[in-house]
Amino acid sequence: MQEFKQQDVRNIMEDIVAQKLDSVIDSLGCCTCEKCRADIMAYVLNHVTPRYVASEKGELFSKVQELNQNNNTDIVMKIVSAAEIIKERPKHDV
């Protein structure tokens, strides 16, 4: 029997949100430092449904599902909301 390792299970929404954030962050008018990017990511990930996978096949299937237009729009809207919040209250030295 193969031993289960926690790293075998992961939330692919982290990859999907990071990819969307990379594609829109320059148009958001917010700070793009690593701290602000991490804060935006954390906010969005706390407001989207996680998609945990335990295999490459599951990962591929979940990523294909996330490519539909409604999910993309929802994620971008959450990124915009997060950027506005972080812009108002950045947690780094100005």
Sign of CA dihedral 30, 38, 51, 49: negative
Residue-wise pLDDT tens digits, 20-31? 999 999 999 999
Instruction: Return the minimum-mean-pLDDT range out of 12-16, 20-24, 57-61.
Output: 57-61
The overall average pLDDT reported for the chain is 83
pTM, 2 dp: 0.78
Token duo for residue 34: 């690593």
Pick the more confident residue, 7 or 45: 45
Pick the more confident residue, 85 or 65: 85
List the beta strands (DSSP E) in the chain.
10-11, 52-53
pLDDT of residue 26: 93
